């Protein structure tokens, strides 16, 4: 099933005029070939483990900023994919979750716990590291999400995550949830994920260069954008690193 998913994903991403490949050392799986399926960071993949340039950027920064994960409890806001596989092998303890529509928070569906980052069911100071890739642009109230991750991190713990960042100074809200009613401020934009499929996940905001300040405002003593050290050329994605 995993191979079939990879083939389906590759087919959906291919732009023939952008195709390219070269030898490369993947930060997740070692010597490999990096392939460019299209011009976006999500379309640049490791041939061996299928990690995108976004995931490779995050792992590169995680190893630089946190180091060895042995002995640490890591929480990841997804349950599938190359990052989850990599964290399972390296973390001392590993917890992951997904948000499932209609499933009570904390309950398990198909072996995966349902969590909403806006109201996590975990006890305070449960984790040493929290990670996510391309999640917070889809969270209706990201302020509550950042505050919740600060709550469940132990003092000195790290939040390491990626979101799409535009060159604007300020984040622009595209949609807001007001008393349970969705209101669009800009024409709706959708992304895809492994559970809901392509074009099914609403984008609530376009993050600007103020993303680190937005995170720091929710209790973190430090937050900054960190560039990957790995040789990803023009495909690298800056990663947000915050300290609880």
Strand-strand pairing, 222-226 and 239-243: antiparallel
Whether 74 and 87 have beta carbons less than 8 Å apart is answered as yes
Rounded Cα–Cα distance for residues 125 and 117 (Å): 15
pTM greater than 0.85 (yes/no): yes
The confidence score (pLDDT) of residue 176 equals 96
Q: What is the pLDDT of residues 102-120, one digit of tens each?
A: 999 999 999 999 999 999 9
Rounded Cα–Cα distance for residues 99 and 236 (Å): 27
φ, ψ of residue 5 to 5 degrees: the values are -60, -40
Q: Which CATH superfamily is domain 54-243 in?
A: Vaccinia Virus protein VP39 (3.40.50.150)
Average confidence score pLDDT of the chain: 90
Q: Which of 55-69, 132-146, 156-170, 191-205 has the lowest mean pLDDT?
A: 191-205
Whether 165 and 96 have beta carbons less than 8 Å apart is answered as no
């Amino acid at each position: 099933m995993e191979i079939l998913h990879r083939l389906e994903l590759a087919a959906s991403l291919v732009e023939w005029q952008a195709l390219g490949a070269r030898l490369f050392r993947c930060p997740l799986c070692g010597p490999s070939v990096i392939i460019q399926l299209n011009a976006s960071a999500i379309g640049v993949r490791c041939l061996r483990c299928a990690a995108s340039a976004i995931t490779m950027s995050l792992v590169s920064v995680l190893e630089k900023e946190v180091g060895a994960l042995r002995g640490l409890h890591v929480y990841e806001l997804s349950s599938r994919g190359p990052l989850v596989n990599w964290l399972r092998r390296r973390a001392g303890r590993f917890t992951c979750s997904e948000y499932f529509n209609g499933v009570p928070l904390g309950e398990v569906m198909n072996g995966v716990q349902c969590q909403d980052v806006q109201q996590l069911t975990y006890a305070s100071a449960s984790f040493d590291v929290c990670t996510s890739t391309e999640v917070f642009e889809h969270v209706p109230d990201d302020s509550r999400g950042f505050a919740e991750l600060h709550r469940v991190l132990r003092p000195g713990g790290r939040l390491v995550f990626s979101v799409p960042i535009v060159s604007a100074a300020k984040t622009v809200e595209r949609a807001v949830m007001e008393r349970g009613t969705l209101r669009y401020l800009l024409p709706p934009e959708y992304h895809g994920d492994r559970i809901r499929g392509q074009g099914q996940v609403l984008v609530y905001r376009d993050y600007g260069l103020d993303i680190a300040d937005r995170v720091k405002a929710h209790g973190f003593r430090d937050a900054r954008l960190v560039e990957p050290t790995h040789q990803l050329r023009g495909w690298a994605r800056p990663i947000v690193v915050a300290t609880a």
